[in-house]
Amino acid sequence: MLSAKSLFQEILDHDESFRLFCSIAAGGESQGGWENGRIAALVPESERALAPRIARHGADEDKHGRIFNALLNKRGLGPVVVPPEADYTMLLEQRGIGLSHDRLRADRPLTVRDVITYLAHSRVTEQRAAEQMRMLCRHFSDHPELGRAVRMISADEDNHLAYSHEELLRFAAAGHGRYVERTLRACAFAEIRVHRDVGLAVMARMGRLLGWSRVRSAVLAAGIHAVYGYERLFGWRRMVTLRMPERRDALGGPAPAAATEVA
């Protein structure tokens, strides 16, 4: 039977597909870590209070990158190069979503709108990350190799999502509502396309590694296109709404001690 659980189980059970999965995940997480680190360093004076939260956000993503690399190490595997067509973070940047790496490498302080752009990008991509991690948690939270890692990362992604809701609501209340809304929409529509493209690219590679039949590959590709169609028509709304989270200031305070890390 073809379910999300059986699909992931198959990917986890084979070294080469596990290697590709962890390498893609580790690459995206560390890229996010670097971006947040730069954003924290470039926060404008008026938004100084946000800097420790952005730094914490970056530290969490770096930690996730280390966790995926540690999962590879534990199996005696090294990372593989992430194929460009499966590089979610890079593809989003190429579509002009979020802050460009050139902008982040420059030593000029960001503007308030840049900070909103960062938060909108986070609101949308953390929604995706939180949903994917919840799905993994639902099926693998007791898995001997992955359980701890998926539980920890899932809790962190929920925090990142809560934080981006809260901060965007604050900017909207401070008179930036139109910009917040516009940026969120642009980000959501770009993300759902990139998510589809990356999904197709990853599944094509997995299919080759795992020797899937043409029928199986076609069914999976059709599923990815169907999700895209749904998200373009209806699903995008869940990525652009803002709701005050139950847990306020989810990224306040220092990051939990490294001793609790799974890596």
Residues of this chain that bind Fe ion (CB under 5 A): 29, 61, 64, 126, 129, 157, 160
Nearest distance from C-beta of residue 234 to Fe ion, angstroms: 24
Nearest distance from C-beta of residue 156 to Fe ion, angstroms: 6
The nearer residue to Fe ion, 10 or 131, going by C-beta atoms, is 131
Return the exposure string of 145-160: e unless at least 16 CB atoms fall within 10 Å of the residue's CB, then b.
ebeebbbbbbebbbbb
The nearer residue to Fe ion, 93 or 157, going by C-beta atoms, is 157
Nearest distance from C-beta of residue 52 to Fe ion, angstroms: 16
Select from 20, 77, 25, 23 the least CA-distant residue to 207: 20
The nearer residue to Fe ion, 60 or 231, going by C-beta atoms, is 60
**214 within 8 A of 127, measured Cβ to Cβ:** no
Alpha helices (runs of H) in the chain, residue ranges in sequence order: 4-13, 15-42, 51-74, 88-94, 101-105, 112-140, 147-171, 177-210, 214-230, 237-240
Nearest distance from C-beta of residue 204 to Fe ion, angstroms: 24
Between vectors from CA 83 to CA 81 and to CA 84, what angle results, nearest 5°?
125
The nearer residue to Fe ion, 29 or 166, going by C-beta atoms, is 29
Nearest distance from C-beta of residue 122 to Fe ion, angstroms: 7
Strands (E), 60-210: none
In angstroms, the CA 82 to CA 183 distance is 28
